[in-house]
Amino acid sequence: MEVSAPLRAASRVDTKLVHAHGVAAIVTLLLSVTFGIIVSLELLYPDWGANAAWLSWGRLRYAHTQGIMFGWLGNAFFAFLYHAVPVLSGRPVTSARLGRWMFGLWNFAAVGPGWVLLLAGFSQPLEWAEFPLAIDAVVVVALVLAVVQFVPPFFSRGLEHLYVSSWYIIGGLIFTLFAYPMGNFVPELVPGASGAAFSGLWIHDAVGLFVTPLALAIIYFVIPAATRRPIYSHFLSMLGFWLLFFLYPLNGTHHYVFSVIPMSAQVGAITASVLLGVDVIIVVTNLLLSLRGSGLFPRDIGLRFAAMSTVFYLIVSMQGSVQALMSVNQTVHFSDWVIGHSHLAMLGFATFAGAAGLTHVWQRIPTARYNARALNHGYWLLVVGVVLMVTDLTAAGLVEGRLWQSGAPWLDSVRAARPYWIIRSLSAIPLAGGFIAILVGLVTGPKGAGLASVEASVGLEPVAAIAPRLAVVATEAS
Amino acid sequence: MTRGAGRALRMSYLVASVAGVGFFVMSVALLGVWPKRVLEAETRAMAPEHPLGLSVSELRGRAIYGREGCGYCHTQQIRYLHADMARFGAPTLAWETRLDYPHLWGTRRIGPDLSREAQTRSADWHFAHLFSPRAIVPESVMPAYKGLFEGAATEPRQEARDLVAYLDSLGHAREIAGPEGEARARAGCECGDDEMAQMAFAGPVNAHPARARRGDAAPALPATVNLAAGQVLYADHCATCHGASGAGDGVAAAMLLPRPSNLAEHDYTVERLADALWNGVAGTAMPAWREYSPHDLAAIAQVVRGFRSGGVEAPLPEGLVALGERVYAANCVQCHGERGAGNGPAAAELKVAPTNFQRQRPSLAEGLRALRNGVDGTPMAPWTTRLNEAELLAAAHYVRGLYAGDAAR
């Protein structure tokens, strides 16, 4: 049967691995969110977990963030990559067998045991690096395997021109491998203030070289694939990419402003943080112009997640540029403002990008169940939840920061935070509801309904025409 | 693709790879390796000659601190900012962190910074607070760490002792280095005209508002007070130890040694209360309350003075007055001083300052209790083996007579 080039590429998608990572992503997401909800409630009911060490605030706090980064975002990115890499490169990933090993390693040798060890009291007290060293070693192996799995397809026929998503995928995977040891191993060998300087590199690179490039790879992929229009400007795409890889790693020290770390490093990092905002304006401008005609809330759910992710990316990056400035930083540092900021990044920007990638590829698995209604509800619940939580925590941070500067008794800042913490815990209702709705959206509903929804959202005939053939090639491939 | 275009593409990929790796290497060099070299040089130049290390127990405590995520609510980094310095003390210097594998600086403060926690609070305060934070600070949101204890705050397991040992080491190395350590650091600091670097030596090393300071001057408390505000403050901060009616029977009382004072059984001068509230009571769990204004402290003092039932004590039987004086002179002056001002020759040696009877008058019953049972957790021993009933009674009466009242100064 005659099939078009994109279809031949699609036929190389290993839908089983997409499916497995997709389900693992949602399951680990729900667990990580549960940890987060308990942690938020423990600030309101601090005696709640007193008799079980593994339920105590500190350990669950470790499990929350590690689960979000490795369990949820890691799996969601891999699910997307198993779809996107063959489509972008026109060749299958390196090895399906390697894929099964990576899946097992990531979920059953890193995230799962990592959680058990954290809760049992084996951890390292380093931000975004809480899994103990044994797990860190597994993660490094898995990251190497991810490079082996996803990078060679882009070059196996020699050098070709790459689409911007491909750049982000290659850059993200390789540089995560470089950056990971800075936060996970170096501070064990380099003490105190010097270790903190390296720690700062990873705290920022975890977001900047792992989460952001892969999230942007999704957005750059989903927008043209769903709108069926090319990206607005490839020049701006590449300008944004190179500025990101130049500026993001130079941000690390902005986590330790007014510390003993040399002031020129602090000032350099603050300058890079401000310039990063310029880069993000370039990237987002390009993305929003690519979305023109589709509106900010397109009918296609994947596209809609991508559009909102872009908006969150703009807001969180502008916020990041501003809060790095010394005059702002001295007030908001150490406060709930920063917790709001990190949730806007991970729960707003990155999670919406992950959901965009996941729903987009799910629509294109003919054998996957798909419930458009549930996904639609999930989207709106998440938007409400993120906005409520981040607004609330930002305000809380300003109140705390002012009280700390005023010299008021310490307890006043704890007392003042309480109403904001209540609202933050309440924001868990729409958020948890949204995530459950997404799970429902991806495991209920008729098989193949995703393709129908793509067709409905674009209103074009070709989808109906290619669907049976896609189903055929997908079966042949599996 | 033509050969020329292929070569151009290969070149561009080569440039891209070199540039990408170059950016990353540059970030590590500029924000990691170079600061490390500067900080190591600073450490060499500014550390005391033989800086204090951590004991095995303190190291174990450090691991527990890391394991439980303490650093996610408590920073260990005082910034070069006046607000931080006023609340916690001198900014953290590089050499102070030289043994932190890995660092525990933290990026969030839900509770206060702990960089200067050493000798700030008593061990039993820490035990009670770790076992049951809200028994000490009702509005605290800190988790309870009951697993570190054998069922009671007074039964700490080794883990609890290690953790408290670690907390009591934080900032100790810099404090114990003393003025010569500070002078050495200042000389080694290439501060020059760098105002921010000079801030490291601008104030006291430990400015913790809760730290008990023996013998510091206390501010005069204003005479007019807001009693209602004082009652709220007392209920929020004092009642957990001293009890709602001041009887020394709050929920935390049984966890602390010496026990919290029974405020209803003492008359206190205003200066005495100002001293206890402003400076804390060194050697006991009573912290200083310098976060609160003299107005607030005056209101609390008024509430405390209101607890004394004020019943008239039975007069001393004739003939015992002289006996009391003799017993006191023979047994008590070493610590409590000739005129009862708590300034006997041995007083300075004692972990808990002896009671100054000029500023504090125990009821007869309270005085007798102390004489008969001693005061657990202080050097005050029981006197029943050395003194007979008449002598005990005479001494209890005698010390009451030393009270100078508010007109003392």
Q: What is the 3-state secondary structure (H, E, C) of B180-216?
A: HHHHHHHHHCCCCCCHHHHHHHCCCCECCCCCCCCCC
Partner-chain contact A252 B31, CB within 8 Å? yes
Residue to mutate among B70, B78, B141, B198, with most A CBs inside 10 A, is B141
Angle at B172 between CA B169 and CA B177, to 5 degrees: 150
Cβ contacts of B96 on chain A, cutoff 8 Å: 192
Nearest CB among B19, B105, B194 relative to A196 is that of B105
pLDDT of res. A478? 37
A230 pLDDT exceeds 50?
Answer: yes
Q: What are the tokens at A395?
A: 């305000």
Q: How far is B319 from chain A (nearest CA, A)?
A: 53
pLDDT-wise least confident of A237-246, A442-451, B232-241: A442-451
Can you give the length of chain A in residues?
Answer: 478
CA distance linking residue A140 with residue A70, whole number of Å: 12
A88 pLDDT exceeds 70?
Answer: yes
What does the mean pLDDT of chain B come to? 91
Partner-chain contact B143 A58, CB within 8 Å? yes
Partner-chain contact A43 B77, CB within 8 Å? no
Confidence of residue B215 (pLDDT cuts 50, 70, 90): confident
Nearest CB among A126, A334, A407 relative to B102 is that of A126
Confidence of residue A466 (pLDDT cuts 50, 70, 90): very low
Nearest CB among A159, A190, A407 relative to B13 is that of A159
Partner-chain contact B143 A408, CB within 8 Å? no
Cβ contacts of B107 on chain A, cutoff 8 Å: 127, 203, 255, 333-334, 338
In the three-class reduction of DSSP (H, G, I as helix; E, B as strand; rest coil), residue B78 is classed as coil
Q: Which residues of A151-185 are buried (b: 16+ CB within 10 A; e: fewer)?
A: bebbeeeebbebbbbbbbbbbbbbbbbbbbebbbb
A477 pLDDT exceeds 60?
Answer: no
pLDDT of res. A64? 97
Confidence of residue A226 (pLDDT cuts 50, 70, 90): very high
H or E segment at B159? Answer: helix B158-167
pLDDT-wise least confident of A64-73, A303-312, A320-329, B388-397: B388-397
Closest residue, chain B, to A186 (C-alpha): B102
Tell me how many residue pairs between chain A and chain B have CB atoms under 8 A apart.
232
A268-272, A363-367, B317-321: which is most confident: A268-272
pLDDT digits (tens, 9 = 90+) for B6-21: 888 888 888 888 888 9
Nearest CB among B10, B19, B143 relative to A42 is that of B143
Cβ contacts of A250 on chain B, cutoff 8 Å: 26-27, 30-31
Partner-chain contact B24 A171, CB within 8 Å? no
Partner-chain contact B105 A189, CB within 8 Å? no
CA distance linking residue A359 with residue A218, whole number of Å: 11
pLDDT of res. A4? 47
* CB contact B75 to A (< 8 Å): yes
Cβ contacts of B21 on chain A, cutoff 8 Å: 178
Residue to mutate among B2, B67, B145, with most A CBs inside 10 A, is B67
% of chain A surpassing 70 pLDDT: 93
What lies within 8 Å, CB to CB, of A267 at 6+ separation is: none
Q: How far is A197 from chain B (nearest CA, A)?
A: 6
Question: What's the rounded mean pLDDT across residues B250-261?
Answer: 94
Closest residue, chain B, to A44 (C-alpha): B141
pLDDT digits (tens, 9 = 90+) for B75-106: 999 999 999 999 999 999 999 999 999 999 99
In the three-class reduction of DSSP (H, G, I as helix; E, B as strand; rest coil), residue B266 is classed as strand
% of chain A surpassing 90 pLDDT: 82
pLDDT of res. A362? 94
pLDDT of res. B113? 96
Q: How far is CA A135 from CA A64, A70, A139, A142, A366, in A?
A: 16, 11, 6, 10, 36
ipTM over 0.85: yes
Cβ contacts of B102 on chain A, cutoff 8 Å: 124-126, 187-188, 191, 195, 199
Partner-chain contact B36 A256, CB within 8 Å? no
* CB contact B99 to A (< 8 Å): yes
Partner-chain contact A123 B13, CB within 8 Å? no
A56 pLDDT exceeds 60?
Answer: yes
Partner-chain contact B20 A245, CB within 8 Å? yes
Partner-chain contact B35 A262, CB within 8 Å? yes
Nearest CB among B42, B98, B134 relative to A191 is that of B98
Q: How far is B100 from chain A (nearest CA, A)?
A: 5
pLDDT-wise least confident of A81-85, A166-170, A297-301: A297-301
Nearest CB among A58, A191, A203 relative to B68 is that of A58
Partner-chain contact B27 A57, CB within 8 Å? no
What does the mean pLDDT of chain A come to? 91
Partner-chain contact B34 A50, CB within 8 Å? no
Q: How far is CA B393 from CA A15, A330, B239, in A?
A: 92, 61, 31
CA distance linking residue B107 with residue B103, whole number of Å: 12
pLDDT of res. B261? 95
A469 pLDDT exceeds 60?
Answer: no
Closest residue, chain B, to A117 (C-alpha): B67
Partner-chain contact A253 B31, CB within 8 Å? yes
Partner-chain contact A193 B38, CB within 8 Å? no
Q: How far is B352 from chain A (nearest CA, A)?
A: 27
pLDDT digits (tens, 9 = 90+) for B176-195: 998 999 999 988 887 778 88
Partner-chain contact B24 A178, CB within 8 Å? yes
Partner-chain contact B143 A407, CB within 8 Å? no
Residue B120 CA to chain centroid, in angstroms?
2
pLDDT of res. A1? 36
Residue to mutate among B14, B17, B24, B78, with most A CBs inside 10 A, is B24
Beta bridge partners of B360: B268
Partner-chain contact B101 A57, CB within 8 Å? no
pLDDT of res. A48? 87
* CB contact B142 to A (< 8 Å): yes
Contact A123, A59 (CB under 8 A): yes
